[in-house]
Amino acid sequence: MIPAPFDYAAPSTVEEAVTVLADAGEDAKVLGGGQSLMPVLRMRLAAPTTVVDLGRIPELRGIREEADALVIGAMTTHDEVCRAESVRAHAALLAEATHTVADPQIRHRGTFGGSLAHADPAGDLLAPALALDASMTIAGPAGRRTVPAAEFFVDFFTTALAENEVLVEVRVPKHTGWQAHYEKFNRVAQAWSTVAVGAALRMEGGAIAEAKVGLTNMDTVPVRARTVEAALIGRPVTAEAIREAARDAAAGANPGTDANADAAYRTQLARVLTARAVTAAART
């Protein structure tokens, strides 16, 4: 099928995009990489009157390195994130997770900002953004504001972004030297996570000095496994210590039931995948 008719705008600055969105009213839709939006338009699950394409705005593209953070433009593609030396060095968890997203063709078009704005609970980049304490810069009619990841993800497919706002960039604090792994459980024919766990560790003398752990698809929003993080600190990297710390991985989460897994199975997956993610991160 093909999409219903719409007007198309391709602004060249963020400010222009915000003006176009304001003028177009409620039925306007932002187009990022299109890898979630295009199937939705083709199946006519949405029929916006205006599509505002962010693809011609240079400011939204690329990765900038600051003293204490990487700043990733919303329109930076998954492929660009995977290839960036700076992401591997300072936000290894994000690099690991991005490698698992979809397939090569979709990684060539789909964007970091689009994934976060889409906020599919099974999306693989939400939990890493949360675990690494990222913050989002949003532009709207009243100017720009910054929202921490913990407040950005509001609900199932819902973020702090208003209809007339644009996600501009994401600031990811540097986690230089941290070891990371993203452990994903999915059906072979579909890359979407049933459950996945991202772990980033700062190691000191063979023991875990600091830990950050994020869970994918264990709730309507990504979940930070604080209980696991606290239990890992100061622990040596033994199978038993890790298994014990991972026991309460799902504490505070409210996993759903769908065709892939029920809530009890997801809770068990969270435990098992947390232990695997931490073990693999400690060994990298």
Ligand X SMILES: Cc1cc2nc3c(=O)[nH]c(=O)nc-3n(C[C@H](O)[C@H](O)[C@H](O)COP(=O)(O)OP(=O)(O)OC[C@H]3O[C@@H](n4cnc5c(N)ncnc54)[C@H](O)[C@@H]3O)c2cc1C
Binding positions for another protein, rule: CB under 8 A: 1-8, 10, 31, 34-35, 38-39, 41-43, 51, 53, 55, 79, 102-106, 108-109, 189, 191
Q: Would you say 182 and 93 are in contact if contact means Cβ atoms under 8 Å apart?
A: yes
Residue 210 CA to residue 176 CA, distance in Å, equals 13
The token duo for 185 is 């459980």
Can residue 125 be called a binding residue for ligand X (CB under 6 A)? yes
Which residue in the set 9, 14, 18, 102 belongs to the binding site for ligand X (CB under 6 A)? 102
Which residue in the set 11, 110, 128, 214 belongs to the binding site for ligand X (CB under 6 A)? 110
* Site size with ligand X, rule: CB under 6 A: 30
Strand, coil or helix: what is 230?
Answer: helix
The token duo for 117 is 């704005």
Which residue in the set 20, 70, 115, 170 belongs to the binding site for ligand X (CB under 6 A)? 115
Q: Would you say 59 and 75 are in contact if contact means Cβ atoms under 8 Å apart?
A: no
CB of 155 to another protein, least distance (A): 24
State the amino acid at position 108 in one-letter form: H
> Count of H helices and E strands in the chain?
12, 14
CB of 98 to ligand X, least distance (A): 8
Can residue 79 be called a binding residue for ligand X (CB under 6 A)? no
Q: Would you say 124 and 182 are in contact if contact means Cβ atoms under 8 Å apart?
A: yes
Which residue in the set 11, 34, 214, 255 belongs to the binding site for ligand X (CB under 6 A)? 34
Q: Would you say 129 and 94 are in contact if contact means Cβ atoms under 8 Å apart?
A: yes
CB of 148 to ligand X, least distance (A): 17
Residue 175 CA to residue 98 CA, distance in Å, equals 16
Residue 76 CA to residue 63 CA, distance in Å, equals 7
Nearer to another protein, 150 or 280 (CB): 280
Q: Which stretch binds ligand X (CB under 6 A): 1-9, 36-44, 253-261, 267-275?
A: 36-44
From another protein, ligand X, none, interface partner of 7 (C-beta below 5 to 8 A by class): another protein
CB of 79 to another protein, least distance (A): 7
From ligand X, another protein, none, interface partner of 114 (C-beta below 5 to 8 A by class): ligand X
The token duo for 151 is 């407040």
Nearer to ligand X, 72 or 101 (CB): 101
Q: Would you say 14 and 57 are in contact if contact means Cβ atoms under 8 Å apart?
A: yes
